[in-house]
Amino acid sequence: MIQRPRGTRDFTPKEMEARRHLEGAFRTVAETHGFREICTPIFEHAELFTLKSGPSIVEEMYAFEDKGGRQIALRPELTAPAMRFFVNDLTNYPRPLKLFYFGQCFRYERPQSGRFREFFQFGAELIGASAPESDAEVIGLAAALIAKSGLGEYQIRVGHIGVLRSMLRDAGVPQEKVSGILQKLDKKMYDEARPLMRDAGMTEEISEKAIKVTETTGPVDVLKDFPGEASSYLVEVFRILEAYGFTDVKVDLGVVRGLDYYTGVVFEVDAPKLGAEKQVCGGGSYSLTELFGGEKVFSTGFAIGFDRILLALEREGTIVQEHKVEAYVIPVSDKMRLEAHAITADLRRNGIAADVDLMRRNLGKNFKYADAIGARFAIIVGEKEMAEGSVALRDLVSGEQSLVKKDELVDKLRNKGESGVRGRCGGEN
Q: Of 290, 316, 342, which residue constitutes the final position of a domain?
A: 316
Q: Please write the tens of the pLDDT for every residue from 243-299.
A: 999 998 999 999 987 677 888 999 999 999 998 889 999 999 999 999 999 999 999
The string of DSSP letters for 253-312 reads TT----STTEEEEEEEEE-GGGTTS-EEEEEEEE--GGGGTS----EEEEEEEHHHHHHH
Nearest C-alpha neighbor of 325 from the set 270, 275, 375? 375
Q: Are residues 265 and 387 in the same domain?
A: no
Residues 376 and 299 in one domain: no
Q: Say whether 155 sits in a helix, a strand or coil.
A: strand
Same domain, 309 and 332: no
What distances in angstroms separate CA 50 from CA 46, 53, 103, 109, one per listed residue?
7, 5, 20, 17
User: Among 142, 155, 159, which residue's Cα sits nearest to residue 265?
Assistant: 159
Q: Are residues 354 and 209 in the same domain?
A: no
19-to-70, 106, 292 alpha-carbon distances in Å: 35, 18, 33
pLDDT, mean of residues 60-68: 95
Last residue of a domain, one of 316, 347, 376: 316
Is 417 within a domain?
A: yes
113 and 225 assigned to the same domain: yes
Instruction: Please indicate, yes or no, whether residues 92 and 232 belong to a single structural domain of this protein.
Output: yes
**Residue 138's CATH number:** 3.30.930.10
Torsion over CA: 254, 260, 263, 269 (sign): negative
Q: Which of 245, 290, 243 is nearest to 263 (CA)?
A: 290
* Distance separating alpha carbons of residues 86 and 127, to the nearest angstrom: 9
Q: CA distances (Å), 219 to each of 214, 234, 250, in order?
A: 15, 12, 5
Can you tell me the distance from the alpha carbon of 270 to that of 282, in angstroms, rounded to the nearest whole number? Answer: 9
Residue type, 372: A
- Answer yes or no: is 348 within a domain: yes
How far, in Å, CA of 75 to CA of 105, rounded?
5
**Cβ contacts of 195 within 8 Å, gap of 6 or more:** none
Asked if residue 102 has pLDDT above 80, the reply is yes
114 shares its domain with 159: yes
Residues 156 and 179 in one domain: yes
**What's the pLDDT tens digit per position in 331-389?**
999 999 999 999 999 999 999 999 999 999 999 999 999 999 999 999 999 999 999 99
Instruction: State the DSSP code for 424.
Output: G
Kindly report, residue by residue over 220-248, the tens digit of the pLDDT.
999 998 889 999 999 999 999 999 999 98
pLDDT bucket at 61, cuts 50 / 70 / 90: very high
Instruction: State mean pLDDT over 49-60.
Output: 86
Number of helices (H) and strands (E) in the chain: give both, helices first. 14, 17
- Last residue within a domain, chosen from 259, 289, 316: 316
- If one counts the domains in the chain, the total is 2
- Regarding whether 344 and 264 lie in a shared domain, the answer is no
Residue 374 lies in a domain: yes
Own/partner pairs, 273-279, CB within 8 angstroms, 24+ separation: 273/153, 273/312, 273/315, 273/316, 274/113, 274/114, 274/308, 274/311, 274/312, 274/315, 277/112, 277/113, 277/114, 277/115, 277/308, 279/305, 279/308
- pLDDT band at 52; cut points 50, 70, 90: confident
C-alpha 408: how far from its chain's center?
Answer: 42
What CATH number corresponds to the domain at position 345? Answer: 3.40.50.800
Please give the backbone phi and psi of residue 125, each rounded to the nearest 5 degrees, phi first. -135, 135
pLDDT at 419: 55
Q: Indicate if 167 and 21 belong to the same structural domain.
A: yes
Let me know if residue 322 belongs to a domain: no
Residue 7, in any domain of the structure:
no
Residue 3 lies in a domain: no
What one-character DSSP code corresponds to residue 320? P
Per the domain annotation, does 198 fall within a domain? yes
Q: Average pLDDT in the 174-186 region?
A: 88
66 pLDDT higher than 60: yes
Task: Answer left, alpha or beta for residue 188, where phi above 0 means left and psi between -120 and 50 means alpha.
Answer: left
Domain that holds residue 378: 327-425
Q: What Cα–Cα distance (Å) separates residue 160 from each residue in 180, 222, 258, 266, 407?
A: 17, 13, 12, 6, 65
Amino acid symbol at 408: E
Assessment of whether the complete model's pTM goes beyond 0.75:
yes
301 and 392 inside one domain? no
Tell me if 27 is assigned to some domain: yes
Residues 276 and 191 in one domain: yes
